[in-house]
Chain A
Amino acid sequence: MSVPLRSATLYSNGYPFPLLTSPGWAMPDREFRGSRAGYRHGMDRITEIWGARTPHARDTPWPERVDLQLADGLAESDVDSWVQSACVLCSNGCGCDIAVKDGRVVGVRGRAADVVNRGRLGPKGLFGSWQAHRTDRLTTPLIRRGGRLVETDWDTAMAEVVRRSQELLRESGPLSHGFYTSGQLFLEEYYTLGVIGKAGVGTPHMDGNTRLCTATAAAALKETFGSDGQPACYADVEACDALFLFGHNMAETQTVLWSRVLDRLEGPDRPLLVAVDPRRTKVAEAADVHLAPLPGTNLAFMNGLLRELVEHGWVDRDYVSAHTIGFDDLVATVEPYTPEHVAEICRVSPADLRRAAEIFGTSRRVLSTVLQGFYQSHQATAAACQVNNLHLLRGLIGEPGCGVLQMNGQPTAQNTRECGADGDLPGFRNWDNPAHVEELANLWNVDPLTIPHWAPPTHAMQIWRYAEQGSIRFLWISATNPAVSLPELSRIRSILSSDDLFVVAQDAFRTETTELADVVLPAAMWGEKQGTFTNASRVVHLSEQAVLPPGQARSDLDIFLDYAHRMGFRDRDGNPLITWKDPEGAFDAWRECSRGRPCDYTSLSYAELRGGSGIPWPHGQERLYTDNVFPTAAEECEDYGHDLLTGAGVTPEQYRAARPDGRAFLKALEHTPPPESPSAEYPFLCTTGRTAYHFHTRTKTGRSKPLRDAAPEPWVELSAADAAGLGVEEGDVVRVESARGGVEVPVRTGRCRDGVVFLPFHYGYWDSGSGEHDRAANELTLTEWDPVSKQPLFKISAVRITRKD
């Protein structure tokens, strides 16, 4: 059984690439059979995505259930060693042990002691986390010679990277450099990259693909509470009386967290469930109330909910006056959003809206989660802030069962945000606060002017724009695949193919992106290197090295350290800027950097993280804001905030004048129409999203046979009425096309509301077997973003659908 191979004619970029011949690239010789999956419970975990139920009552602990997957023919007793880790295939970060036999990864088992999953793993964790290890890997550096990528050695590859880097620094300075990283590396790697970029090179052009998945979570937390940091924890699922999922298809995006919810839904004292999603997802099916606002109208919907709370007096006035500012403005802003008015804008039933508001307003403990349905939409930050506002109006935060989970998409997105590998300064420091910049300058022993802080750090979409315009000429991409994951792919391909742009791509596999790079660096993956990462509920896990990387592949940390060494980055006294040499050294440096900040890691260490469960920052604290004091003091806050309509920055003077002093901001905004709406030419609204069997661009999950077989090809979902209107049936191939591009995919009917269609975003071209660009959802998405979080609007593209005969 093999992964479909990339053929020499696969890419229509003009470069035919030879196949990689790495030893042992094929699937492990021991095959899986579905029936053996998760065998401790005798269940096929491809079809039974959430596994067996362990129902329990409110305020009782979530029972353990250990899930296990081993290569066929192996039993637990055959395994040589179990190496502690956590799964990196979504933001849940389920604790697990990696099974090793004869120096190879042969399986995975959930850790019963872990607070995140109590032993459970989902299909991706069971099959996707390790089966790609020996499959089709990049094992040597590649360098472009005469238009083709050819194998080379590390010295040649790194010398070329350093030569171009130094040349451009001499010619044009640090603004010629951009670093585009990931939500899939380890904390130690991000922090090292952050120091290299900010204090070594000194460029503001650093971001990650976390901009695509988690930027709005961070932005909404900063706008409301003054700093990033997840207020709630997963144990709140056990304690809540009502659960609201806003644009969060948890059943597919974090399958183990959904198992946790199902165990409450099927137990005594079932919490009420409200789903806000334009599709009839599994979450929506399980919900007491399902609301399906039209894409592009989330803010109008939220304003309607808030208005109902105010109207019915479901507001804790004492809490609001003691712990928030902005109540009067909020009330005035939401005033026009009567249920009937909201119904007109969002096309939801006013009765359902009233019922949802009543559930929020009258349940004793409410937990809310938010994800891409809000984050990748029009007025994203504003809508996500309104979820925070609902909780603040009732004072439902910082207590068991009460709180907000502004979720992350990717497994280590939290660390990209914390460590400064995205736009932010490390340790949730404020770029506009000279004292914060001074702290970093002292820590790194560099001139504060080296650290770019004259404007907000450059967000990903702007980095790509500068590359397009030719002012960024050196772009280092690590552990991500923008040629499939960014919007409007034809544009991204043309930027990456430009002769003027020197592209370094660092990955474990050849991807659509590496094929367009000038230098490709083979990276070790999970299980082949050591490091820590933090999940969506602030829980930090240590992931140990279980096996050696294949061929010449190196850890991302070693690659960054090598670059720093070769570039000769120095501090103010002429000593090496980066003093650590291994993951634990990097972690210790990061602990110092985080000292005293909201994300304080000083009480964590590798020793502390070994054995037992992952541990949340700060200091093992389950929930933030238990004292109702928020990090909004001017000296402490991570950001002075923005105008939610335009993204205009609030000045330090304006911020101080508002005297937030520990109170949270109730920021409100009126709804405005989305930038793209259906027209006669493009009559449908297209949204994109993740599905249960795949992650990101399938570089790992697409190489696991059970996951690949479960969802081998993309599709489009239409409502039954729309399918009938178009005269198409389940399985018919259609072209879904926007003004920017299109895909050709078979139809699935049923789950969407009329007028809205859905495309999974995972599929690219490495295994498409055709030279056409007609498979990736991002062919048709648009280059637009939220004004505050700068997260692209993947969820709103106007498309037309035509039948292919």
Chain B
Amino acid sequence: MHLATYLGLLHGSLRTLADAFREVASGHGDEPDVRLTCHTLANRIDRQAEKLAPVVERYGEHREAEPERLHAAGLDSARGGGVGLLRDLQDLYALTSFTDITWTVVGQAAQGLRDTELIQVVHACEQDTARQLAWLKTRIKQSAPQALIVG
């Protein structure tokens, strides 16, 4: 069964994602809404990882040995300026999308296994991930014209 591999992947990507949100928060401290929201979302991603932990334990987490194939690369450091902010938010969007689809994959398996606990975890976390994507999209749409035209 490859579910354990996927749970490992998901668990790892949540950590990467939380770190990336924190990196953007501290790198864009002059954008208070970005800083605050990224922190709030990072904390909630930690909570997702906590919720997942008992399931991971149950199935036995399996870490993928080939990071370049299945692991999402994180964000090394935040970029500066208006365009830098835009790029960083886009990177967060890509990372979050990866987590989002991974939740979907895990959720499908949970349905197949009739694992009620996992189904509930997936349901709650998918909504939270949708919220992350929605915020990123809102903020990107707001920033794009200014950054690209007069930035």
* A residues 656-698 in Cβ contact with B at 8 Å: 672, 675
Q: What chain B residues lie within 8 Å of A672 (beta carbons)? A: 40
Given contacts A172-B149, A643-B131, A783-B32, contact A455 B141 (CB under 8 A): yes
* B residues 107-144 in Cβ contact with A at 8 Å: 131, 134-135, 137-138, 141-142, 144
Given known contacts A173-B149, A649-B138, A650-B134, what 4 new A-B pairs fall within 8 Å (CB)? Answer: A454-B141, A643-B131, A645-B131, A646-B40
Query: Are A785 and B150 in contact, with the CB atoms below 8 A?
Result: no
B117 to chain A, nearest CB (A): 18
B115 to chain A, nearest CB (A): 22
Q: Which residue of B lies closest to A643 (CB)?
A: B131
Given contacts A466-B146, A784-B36, A787-B33, contact A646 B82 (CB under 8 A): no
Contact of A646 among B134, B144, B150 (CB under 8 A): B134
Query: Are B138 and A648 in contact, with the CB atoms below 8 A?
Result: yes
Q: What chain B residues lie within 8 Å of A783 (beta carbons)? A: 32
Query: Are B149 and A175 in contact, with the CB atoms below 8 A?
Result: yes
Number of B positions contacting A (CB below 8 A): 23
A672 to chain B, nearest CB (A): 6
B41 interfacial by beta-carbon distance below 8 Å: yes
Q: What chain B residues lie within 8 Å of A782 (beta carbons)? A: 32
Query: Are A646 and B37 in contact, with the CB atoms below 8 A?
Result: yes
Q: What chain B residues lie within 8 Å of A646 (beta carbons)? A: 37, 40-41, 131, 134-135, 138
Q: What chain A residues lie within 8 Å of B138 (beta carbons)? A: 455-456, 646-649
Q: What chain A residues lie within 8 Å of B144 (beta carbons)? A: 455
Query: Are B145 and A643 in contact, with the CB atoms below 8 A?
Result: no
Query: Are B40 and A643 in contact, with the CB atoms below 8 A?
Result: no
Q: Which residue of A lies closest to B38 (CB)?
A: A646
Most chain B beta-carbon neighbours within 10 Å: one of A172, A456, A461, A787: A787
Query: Are A471 and B135 in contact, with the CB atoms below 8 A?
Result: no
A463 to chain B, nearest CB (A): 10
B31 interfacial by beta-carbon distance below 8 Å: yes
Q: Which residue of A lies closest to B136 (CB)?
A: A648
A469 to chain B, nearest CB (A): 6
* 21 sampled A-B residue pairs with Cβ under 8 A: A175-B145, A454-B141, A454-B145, A455-B145, A465-B31, A466-B146, A469-B151, A643-B134, A646-B37, A646-B40, A646-B138, A647-B37, A647-B135, A648-B134, A649-B134, A649-B137, A782-B32, A783-B32, A784-B32, A784-B33, A785-B33
A377 interfacial by beta-carbon distance below 8 Å: no
* A residues 60-113 in Cβ contact with B at 8 Å: none
B125 to chain A, nearest CB (A): 15
Q: Which residue of B lies closest to A168 (CB)?
A: B150
B11 to chain A, nearest CB (A): 24
Q: Using a CB–CB distance below 8 Å, which chain B residues touch chain A?
A: 30-33, 36-37, 40-41, 81-82, 131, 134-135, 137-138, 141-142, 144-146, 149-151
Q: Which residue of B lies closest to A675 (CB)?
A: B36
Query: Are B32 and A785 in contact, with the CB atoms below 8 A?
Result: yes
A790 to chain B, nearest CB (A): 8
Question: A461–B33 Cα gap in the complex (Å)?
Answer: 10
Q: Mark A199-234, 1 if CB is under 8 A from B, else 0.
A: 000001000000000000000000000000000000
Query: Are A471 and B36 in contact, with the CB atoms below 8 A?
Result: no
Question: A578–B137 Cα gap in the complex (Å)?
Answer: 36
Say whether chain B's binding surface is mostly helix, strand, loop, or mixed: helix
A176 interfacial by beta-carbon distance below 8 Å: yes
B109 to chain A, nearest CB (A): 26
Contact of B146 among A175, A461, A645, A785 (CB under 8 A): A175
Contact of A456 among B37, B142, B149 (CB under 8 A): B142
Query: Are B131 and A648 in contact, with the CB atoms below 8 A?
Result: yes
Q: Which residue of B lies closest to A205 (CB)?
A: B146
Query: Are B137 and A648 in contact, with the CB atoms below 8 A?
Result: yes
Q: What chain A residues lie within 8 Å of B137 (beta carbons)? A: 648-649
Q: What chain B residues lie within 8 Å of A649 (beta carbons)? A: 134, 137-138
Question: A173–B151 Cα gap in the complex (Å)?
Answer: 12
Query: Are B134 and A175 in contact, with the CB atoms below 8 A?
Result: no
Question: A166–B150 Cα gap in the complex (Å)?
Answer: 15
* A residues 568-586 in Cβ contact with B at 8 Å: none
Q: What chain B residues lie within 8 Å of A204 (beta carbons)? A: 145
Question: A672–B42 Cα gap in the complex (Å)?
Answer: 13
B46 to chain A, nearest CB (A): 13
Question: A648–B138 Cα gap in the complex (Å)?
Answer: 6
Question: A454–B81 Cα gap in the complex (Å)?
Answer: 22
Question: A647–B40 Cα gap in the complex (Å)?
Answer: 12
Query: Are B37 and A175 in contact, with the CB atoms below 8 A?
Result: no
Q: What chain A residues lie within 8 Å of B141 (beta carbons)? A: 454-455
Query: Are A176 and B150 in contact, with the CB atoms below 8 A?
Result: yes
Question: A645–B127 Cα gap in the complex (Å)?
Answer: 13
Q: What chain B residues lie within 8 Å of A461 (beta carbons)? A: 32
Question: A455–B140 Cα gap in the complex (Å)?
Answer: 10
* A residues 469-499 in Cβ contact with B at 8 Å: 469, 471-472
Question: A477–B138 Cα gap in the complex (Å)?
Answer: 27
B49 to chain A, nearest CB (A): 18
Q: What chain A residues lie within 8 Å of B33 (beta carbons)? A: 647, 784-785, 787
Q: Mark A160-189, 1 if CB is under 8 A from B, else 0.
A: 000000000000110110000000000000
Q: Which residue of A lies closest to B39 (CB)?
A: A675
Query: Are A471 and B82 in contact, with the CB atoms below 8 A?
Result: yes
Question: A462–B131 Cα gap in the complex (Å)?
Answer: 22
Q: What chain B residues lie within 8 Å of A458 (beta carbons)? A: 142
Question: A645–B82 Cα gap in the complex (Å)?
Answer: 24
Question: A175–B146 Cα gap in the complex (Å)?
Answer: 7
Question: A647–B41 Cα gap in the complex (Å)?
Answer: 12
Q: What chain A residues lie within 8 Å of B134 (beta carbons)? A: 643, 646, 648-651
Question: A651–B82 Cα gap in the complex (Å)?
Answer: 25
Q: What chain A residues lie within 8 Å of B142 (beta carbons)? A: 455-456, 458, 462
Question: A668–B49 Cα gap in the complex (Å)?
Answer: 24
Q: Mark A604-637, 1 if CB is under 8 A from B, else 0.
A: 0000000000000000000000000000000000
Report the 4 A-B pairs with minimum CB-CB distance, sorted nearest first. A648-B134, A648-B135, A646-B135, A471-B150
Q: Which residue of A lies closest to B142 (CB)?
A: A455
Q: Mark A436-469, 1 if CB is under 8 A from B, else 0.
A: 0000000000000000001110100110011001
A88 to chain B, nearest CB (A): 32
B122 to chain A, nearest CB (A): 18
Query: Are B150 and A787 in contact, with the CB atoms below 8 A?
Result: no
* A residues 782-796 in Cβ contact with B at 8 Å: 782-785, 787
Q: What chain A residues lie within 8 Å of B30 (beta carbons)? A: 465
Question: A461–B36 Cα gap in the complex (Å)?
Answer: 15
Q: What chain A residues lie within 8 Å of B150 (beta carbons)? A: 172-173, 175-176, 471-472
B41 to chain A, nearest CB (A): 7
B126 to chain A, nearest CB (A): 15
B124 to chain A, nearest CB (A): 11
A798 to chain B, nearest CB (A): 15
Given contacts A455-B142, A646-B40, contact A469 B82 (CB under 8 A): yes
Contact of B40 among A456, A645, A650 (CB under 8 A): A645
A648 to chain B, nearest CB (A): 4
Q: What chain B residues lie within 8 Å of A172 (beta carbons)? A: 149-150
A459 to chain B, nearest CB (A): 9
Question: A782–B30 Cα gap in the complex (Å)?
Answer: 12
B142 to chain A, nearest CB (A): 5
Q: What chain A residues lie within 8 Å of B146 (beta carbons)? A: 175, 466, 471
Question: A315–B28 Cα gap in the complex (Å)?
Answer: 45
Question: A672–B145 Cα gap in the complex (Å)?
Answer: 32
B35 to chain A, nearest CB (A): 9
Question: A304–B93 Cα gap in the complex (Å)?
Answer: 35
Question: A445–B144 Cα gap in the complex (Å)?
Answer: 28
Q: What chain B residues lie within 8 Å of A651 (beta carbons)? A: 134
Question: A784–B32 Cα gap in the complex (Å)?
Answer: 6
Q: Mark A761-786, 1 if CB is under 8 A from B, else 0.
A: 00000000000000000000011110
Question: A646–B35 Cα gap in the complex (Å)?
Answer: 11
Q: Which residue of B lies closest to A792 (CB)?
A: B32
Q: What chain B residues lie within 8 Å of A469 (beta carbons)? A: 81-82, 151
Question: A172–B151 Cα gap in the complex (Å)?
Answer: 10
Query: Are B131 and A471 in contact, with the CB atoms below 8 A?
Result: no
A381 to chain B, nearest CB (A): 13
